[in-house]
Amino acid sequence: MIDLLIRGALVYDGTGAPPQHADVAVAGGRIARVAPCIDAVDAVDAVDAVDAVDAVDAVARTVDADGLALMPGIIDSHTHFDAQITWDPTLRPSPALGVTTAVIGNCGFTIAPCRPADRELTMRNLTQVEGMSLDALRAGIDWGFESFADYMAQLRRRGCAINVAAYAGHSSVRTYVMGADAARRAASADEIARMQDIVRDAMRHGAVGFATSTSPAHNGEGGLPMPSRLADDAEMAALVGAMAEAGRGVYMLTKGGHTKVSFLESLAAATGRPVMIAALLHNGTNPRAVFDDLDAIAAANERGHRLLGQVSCCPLTMDFTLASPYPVEGLASWKPALGLSGDALKAKLAEPSFRDAVRAELATPATFRLFNNEWDKVHVVEVARPEHARLEQRSIAEIARAAGGDPLDAMLDLALDEDLQTVFTAQLLNSDEEAVGRMLNHPHSIVSLSDAGAHLTFFNDAGFGLHLLGHWARDRGAMTIEEAVRRLTSHPATVLGLRGRGAIRAGHAADLLLFDPRTVGRGPKRRVRDLPAGGARLTTDAVGVHGVWVNGRQVADAHGILPGVPLAGALLTDFDG
Ligand SMILES: [Zn+2]
């Protein structure tokens, strides 16, 4: 019995090979057969192939895909759905955007293990570091677990619309062992040993690897660094070593400027495990920096060590208010304002000495910094007071020039005048398309960094895969469609060890995306209020998507996620080494 027969699509099989017209038959959640179409091959082969499907097996459903293209479902290797998955097993909006597998726990910002006493701290940290609404987290997270194993068991019990693989997260592991001290000091030898045990246990229960962050942009509750940032090199090496004892696993980290690629290479050399390095974003004010990292990564590969750089195909643009200004919160000079709210925050933002310190820091170039003093790239999106309406859509540089003042003053004064309600948008990084095109084609980069599930009011890049296909491959010709498909499917599947996924091949899981190559892309962002406790998020609609199947079951069509979407995804715990 064939459950599904997709006929006549131009099939991109995920390997990077040129596409071919073929019929794809699905049975029992797997690809049963890929047969050339009658119009694409000589008659004898075609009759054999198609008749084999039609005559021998009954077909439950046939989809006529003439004029459309079929590829393996997109694998999103950088998401933060760890909390959302406990209240929304659909993982909106990813399935509608062609994503059939999501990797959670990136940067080590997981919610397991977590003692009941640390739940509030964990939620407050996520609110600060990943821009998740505290009210939504409090109302939404189902805390039916304490250990990583319990968390995985809960995910398996509840199900999910798409496949999920989970990292063991450093900050959670550290908090579990050290409590509130995790964000304050180095660990003792005994504490490191206990952390190693937790990492080993997570690997036994199906973690895809170990994830961490050393990035100064990653601050938690009250402006304290996220716990993993307090780890010294010995702790990092011990935990990556504990992961590698499983004989498999990916070491993922979001790298601060002070973490050297050579140190990461030494961990790859010691363990034999791949190292996935985020977030390689192009900075127009320091355009060489990201290529220096990619060069160092390439050199490590030449020495036989597997390092990859996570790159993004989307310009990093963030909407924000001064009540929670993520783009500047990584600045050392912003520290005094972190953790403040209401009148205390307003008083700090008004202080001339605070402003002078921020100005001085922004005037010095940095290797990695979200905001780089480019005031022509910060715009007013929405004002709170009608008398300021004329400022909407104008850049801060322009507004400051017109007033004969300084841009930082102009932005802060406007925000203070509106009770910090003014919405700004900043085009931060990755907007130089020539440079980004080179990064996307780099032999040791991996197309990633959607951050889906996080920063929900700041930006939404969950549709990154559709953007790579439409904008980069079709419109800009930066790569062929088959190469774009490979980079979204078999490439991440191989790096992550996702067995039997990422290619259209008999025996592989039937994770499929049917799309129109002439129109595929991501729609404009829009704001919806569907989070627990009525919170808002940005979302994007798919363009040119005709169907998405996970393990052979359809989860989305041309109108988006199906009503009553089946929880067709698998919790992935069995990986190739
Ligand atoms: Zn992240």
Least confident of 104-118, 255-269, 362-376: 362-376
Tell how far the Cα of 318 is from the centroid of ligand 1, in angstroms. 15
pLDDT in tens, 426-449: 988 998 999 999 999 999 999 999
Residue-level pLDDT at 339: 85
Tell how far the Cα of 253 is from the centroid of ligand 1, in angstroms. 9
pLDDT in tens, 177-231: 999 999 999 999 999 999 999 999 999 999 999 999 999 889 998 889 999 999 9
pLDDT at 115 over 60: yes
Q: What is the mean pLDDT of residues 276-301?
A: 94
Q: What is the mean pLDDT of residues 87-116?
A: 97
DSSP 169-217: EHHHHHHHHHGGGGGTSPPPHHHHHHHHHHHHHHHHTT--EEEEE--TT
Residue-level pLDDT at 459: 82
pLDDT at 128 over 80: yes
Residue-level pLDDT at 451: 93
User: What are the CB-based long-range contacts (under 8 Å, 24+) for 472-478?
Assistant: 472/313, 472/437, 472/440, 474/517, 474/518, 474/520, 476/433, 476/437, 478/437, 478/440, 478/441
Tell how far the Cα of 128 is from the centroid of ligand 1, in angstroms. 13
Tell how far the Cα of 414 is from the centroid of ligand 1, in angstroms. 31
241: which 2 tokens? 């070593």
Tell how far the Cα of 330 is from the centroid of ligand 1, in angstroms. 14
Write the single-letter amino acid at 142: D
Q: What is the mean pLDDT of residues 252-259?
A: 94
Taking a 5 Å cut-off on Cβ, the residues next to ion ligand 1 are: 106-107
Least confident of 21-35, 43-57, 203-217, 338-352: 43-57
pLDDT band at 43 (very low <50, low <70, confident <90, very high): very low
Q: What is the mean pLDDT of residues 69-88?
A: 97
Tell how far the Cα of 110 is from the centroid of ligand 1, in angstroms. 11
Q: Find how far residue 534's CA is from the centre of its chain.
A: 24
Tell how far the Cα of 386 is from the centroid of ligand 1, in angstroms. 37
State the helix-helix crossing angle for 289-302 and 261-271, rounded to 10 degrees. Answer: 30
Residue-level pLDDT at 202: 98
Q: What is the mean pLDDT of residues 534-558?
A: 95
Q: What is the mean pLDDT of residues 316-337?
A: 92
Tell how far the Cα of 359 is from the centroid of ligand 1, in angstroms. 27
Tell how far the Cα of 107 is from the centroid of ligand 1, in angstroms. 5
pLDDT at 53 over 80: no
pLDDT at 402 over 90: yes
Q: Give me Rg for the CA atoms of the chain.
A: 24
Tell how far the Cα of 17 is from the centroid of ligand 1, in angstroms. 31
pLDDT at 351 over 90: yes
Tell how far the Cα of 210 is from the centroid of ligand 1, in angstroms. 13
Q: What is the mean pLDDT of residues 44-52?
A: 51
Q: What is the mean pLDDT of residues 350-366?
A: 95
pLDDT in tens, 516-535: 999 999 998 888 988 998 88
Tell how far the Cα of 293 is from the centroid of ligand 1, in angstroms. 18
pLDDT at 368 over 90: no
Q: Find how far residue 528's CA is from the centre of its chain.
A: 20
Percent of the chain residues past pLDDT 90, beyond the cut = 85
Residue-level pLDDT at 39: 55
Q: What pairs with residue 277 in β-bridges?
A: 253, 309
Residue 143 to residue 412: CA distance in whole angstroms? 39
Q: What pairs with residue 10 in β-bridges?
A: 21, 69
Tell how far the Cα of 425 is from the centroid of ligand 1, in angstroms. 20
pLDDT in tens, 469-507: 999 999 999 999 999 999 999 999 999 999 999 999 999
Tell how far the Cα of 80 is from the centroid of ligand 1, in angstroms. 7
Query: What is the rounded average pLDDT for all residues in the chain?
Result: 94
pLDDT at 45 over 60: no
* Contact assessment for residue 229 and residue 235, using Cβ atoms and an 8 Å cutoff: no
Report which listed range, 218-222, 236-240, 458-462, is most confident: 236-240
pLDDT at 37 over 90: no
Residue-level pLDDT at 41: 47
Tell how far the Cα of 202 is from the centroid of ligand 1, in angstroms. 20
pLDDT band at 55 (very low <50, low <70, confident <90, very high): low
| Strand duo 378-382 + 423-429: pairing | antiparallel
Tell how far the Cα of 316 is from the centroid of ligand 1, in angstroms. 13
Tell how far the Cα of 78 is from the centroid of ligand 1, in angstroms. 6
Secondary structure element (H or E) that encloses residue 149, with its range: helix 148-158
Look-up: residue for tokens 């050399």? 269
Least confident of 94-103, 276-285, 349-358: 276-285
Residue-level pLDDT at 38: 57
pLDDT band at 44 (very low <50, low <70, confident <90, very high): very low
User: Helix and strand tally (H, E) in the chain?
Assistant: 17, 22
Residue-level pLDDT at 46: 45
Residue-level pLDDT at 49: 52
Q: What is the mean pLDDT of residues 108-118?
A: 97
Tell how far the Cα of 22 is from the centroid of ligand 1, in angstroms. 38
Tell how far the Cα of 279 is from the centroid of ligand 1, in angstroms. 8
Tell how far the Cα of 450 is from the centroid of ligand 1, in angstroms. 8
pLDDT band at 56 (very low <50, low <70, confident <90, very high): low
φ, ψ dihedrals at 554, nearest 5°? -80, 130
Higher pLDDT, 61 or 130: 61
Q: What is the mean pLDDT of residues 320-339?
A: 92
Tell how far the Cα of 274 is from the centroid of ligand 1, in angstroms. 18
Residue-level pLDDT at 477: 98
Tell how far the Cα of 328 is from the centroid of ligand 1, in angstroms. 17
Tell how far the Cα of 183 is from the centroid of ligand 1, in angstroms. 18
pLDDT at 18 over 80: yes
373: DSSP letter = S
Higher pLDDT, 84 or 45: 84
Sheet containing strand 307-311, edge to edge, reads 74-76, 99-104, 163-169, 209-213, 250-254, 275-280, 307-311, 445-447
For 532, the 3-state DSSP assignment is: helix
